């Protein structure tokens, strides 16, 4: 054990630990979720500390030897090392001070090792004086959140593009599968299964654009704002340089906020990101529910599509297979909706010069992004890629429906169309049979009007034929 000291007193720290006394206090105080810090967030905090060290070296404030050791330590954490030295709970009081100090302590103790000194020799390299130089939790922590969100957005956007591309491929595959469209869960007019899948792809791509738009504000940082945005203890040169260093390290266009006080006490940019995730989740829920309905049955439901069987569906009913991938996508999206509520409450509860609720904001956004990424990838790979159309069933529902009578309105009028619908309902006879019996159209004209091409892409072909009629 080694003895470490802060202004509250002394504490013994395991000698092999790279964290220090303030991390230990956080472990005692905040045993809340039972979860660990997100790995991307640990990396993001190390990136912020590396940028700060390089900026302080560049402005001449930080000893290059100490700075180099801190940078090397940060690079090790960025590469995935020492992540087990971040034991603090993601949800904590103190506006993220414990996470910030956990990062400072790990980097400092590793830096001390690198220069041949013992852990805990904070008189040589200090978590507060060196690793936290020209910083406060109130600028380093939210900047770390933003770096992490950007890292996670790449995986999420990749997953959503994978889903949209796969849906587009299925739209082409199903372009000639005519089926009954529905409104109010009632028969409407025909549509192709391909058109439905293309509409899902379009909605997913709109979600991608929504997330990308929300990410724009995340590139605006408040590094150099220090405690409340006034920049106390941070030189103007540092403020410019730290943003430049962060942009260079990450390859992202980070810029300093024009009003650092605003950027320190307002967190509405995080609400934008969470809202974009929530709305995208709503789109995914609707699509997953459509899949479940179209696959319902298979004998006593719609049975218009066949989902890949992933597991036995019952412990008691032999042969039952459930739509488990749409179900898990739904449940994941419900969690994202709940997370957004927590984010919104966190954003609204900032007071004066700081929002102290950033830990819960970060925790829920990170979880939402990770959950969505995993669920979308699984849903695409294990469901959408191998979904099949049941063309015979689609045609059967189409033949039994009177919804196709709507396509006849421009050609035989509303009254005749209503008469056809009523007789078809009452007798159960096919619409086509009644049309020919009553001589309302020739077979050639009827076949054209009720063809898949004309009902789903009206007016493309057969114009001359209909004009003669």
Q: Where are the domains of the chain?
A: 2-133, 139-391, 402-468
pLDDT values of the chain reduced to their tens digit, one per residue, 469 residues: 999 888 889 999 999 999 999 999 999 999 999 999 999 999 999 999 999 999 999 999 999 999 999 999 999 999 999 999 999 999 999 999 999 999 999 999 999 999 999 999 999 999 999 999 999 999 999 999 999 999 999 999 999 999 999 999 999 999 999 999 999 999 988 999 999 999 999 999 999 999 999 999 999 999 999 999 999 999 999 999 999 999 999 999 999 999 999 999 999 999 999 999 999 999 999 999 999 999 999 999 999 999 999 999 888 999 899 999 999 999 999 999 999 999 999 999 999 999 999 999 999 999 999 999 999 999 999 999 999 999 999 999 988 888 888 888 899 999 999 999 899 889 988 888 999 999 999 999 988 888 877 888 876 544 444 444 4
- Mapping DSSP to helix (H, G, I), strand (E, B) and coil, where does residue 385 land? helix
- Mapping DSSP to helix (H, G, I), strand (E, B) and coil, where does residue 151 land? helix
- Is residue 211 within 8 Å of 280, Cβ to Cβ? yes
What is the predicted pLDDT for the residue at 407?
A: 86
CATH of 402-468, one of 1.10.40.30, 3.20.20.10, 2.60.130.10, 3.40.50.720: 1.10.40.30
Is 417 assigned a catalytic role? Answer: no
Both structure tokens of 367: 């979880």
- What is the enclosing helix (H) or strand (E) of 298? none
What is the predicted pLDDT for the residue at 284?
A: 98
- Is residue 33 within 8 Å of 224, Cβ to Cβ? no
What is the predicted pLDDT for the residue at 13?
A: 94
Q: Are strands 305-306 and 255-256 parallel, antiparallel or unpaired?
A: unpaired
What is the predicted pLDDT for the residue at 452?
A: 73
Please tell me whether the peptide bond between 344 and the residue prior to it is cis, using omega within 30 degrees of 0: no
What is the predicted pLDDT for the residue at 460?
A: 52
CATH of domain 2-133: 1.10.275.10
- Is residue 222 within 8 Å of 142, Cβ to Cβ? yes
What is the predicted pLDDT for the residue at 456?
A: 84
Catalytic residue among 213, 314, 368, 451: 314
Q: What is the rounded CA–CA span in Å between residue 442 and residue 174?
A: 30
- The CATH fold of domain 139-391: Fumarase C; Chain A, domain 2 (1.20.200)
Q: Are strands 178-183 and 186-192 parallel, antiparallel or unpaired?
A: antiparallel
This prediction's pTM: 0.93
């Amino acid at each position: 054990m080694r003895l470490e000291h802060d202004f509250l007193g002394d504490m013994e720290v395991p000698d092999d630990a790279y964290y220090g006394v303030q991390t230990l206090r956080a472990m005692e105080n905040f045993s809340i979720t039972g979860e660990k810090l997100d790995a991307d967030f640990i990396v993001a905090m190390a990136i912020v500390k590396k940028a700060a060290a390089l900026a302080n070296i560049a402005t001449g404030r930080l000893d290059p030897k100490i700075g180099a050791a801190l940078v090397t330590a940060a690079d090790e954490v960025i590469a995935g090392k020492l992540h087990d030295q971040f034991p603090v709970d993601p949800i904590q009081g103190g506006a993220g001070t414990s996470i910030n100090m956990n990062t400072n302590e790990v980097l400092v103790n590793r830096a001390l090792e690198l220069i041949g000194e013992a852990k805990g020799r904070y008189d040589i390299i200090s978590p507060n004086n060196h690793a936290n130089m020209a910083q406060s939790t109130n600028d380093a922590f939210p900047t770390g959140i933003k770096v992490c969100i950007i890292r996670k957005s790449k995986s999420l956007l990749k997953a959503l593009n994978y889903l949209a591309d796969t849906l587009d491929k299925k739209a082409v595959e199903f372009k000639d599968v005519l089926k009954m469209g529905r409104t109010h869960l009632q028969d409407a007019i025909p549509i192709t299964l391909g058109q439905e899948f293309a509409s899902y792809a379009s909605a997913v791509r709109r979600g991608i654009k929504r997330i990308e738009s929300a990410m724009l504000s995340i590139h605006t940082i408040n590094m150099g704002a220090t405690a409340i945005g006034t920049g106390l203890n941070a030189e103007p040169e540092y403020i410019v340089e730290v943003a430049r260093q962060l942009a260079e390290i990450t390859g992202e266009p980070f810029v300093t906020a024009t009003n650092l006080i605003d950027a320190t006490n307002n967190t509405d940019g995080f609400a934008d990101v969470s809202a974009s995730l929530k709305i995208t989740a709503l789109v995914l829920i609707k699509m997953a529910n459509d899949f479940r309905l179209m696959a319902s049955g298979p004998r006593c439901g719609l049975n218009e599509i066949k989902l890949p069987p992933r597991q036995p569906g019952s412990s008691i009913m032999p042969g039952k297979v459930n739509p488990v991938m749409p179900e898990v996508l739904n449940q994941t999206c419900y969690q994202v909706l709940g997370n957004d509520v927590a984010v919104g409450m966190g954003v609204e509860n900032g007071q004066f010069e700081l929002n102290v609720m950033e830990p819960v904001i970060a925790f829920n956004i990170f979880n939402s992004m990770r959950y969505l990424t995993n669920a979308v990838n699984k849903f695409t790979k294990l469901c959408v890629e191998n979904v099949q159309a049941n063309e015979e069933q689609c045609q059967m529902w189409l033949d039994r429906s009177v919804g196709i009578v709507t396509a006849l309105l421009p050609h035989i009028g509303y009254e005749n169309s209503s008469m056809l619908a009523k007789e078809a309902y009452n007798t159960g006879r096919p619409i086509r049979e009644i049309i020919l019996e009553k001589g309302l159209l020739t077979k050639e004209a009827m076949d054209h009007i009720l063809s898949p091409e004309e009902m789903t892409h009206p007016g493309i072909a057969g114009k001359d034929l209909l004009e003669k009629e």
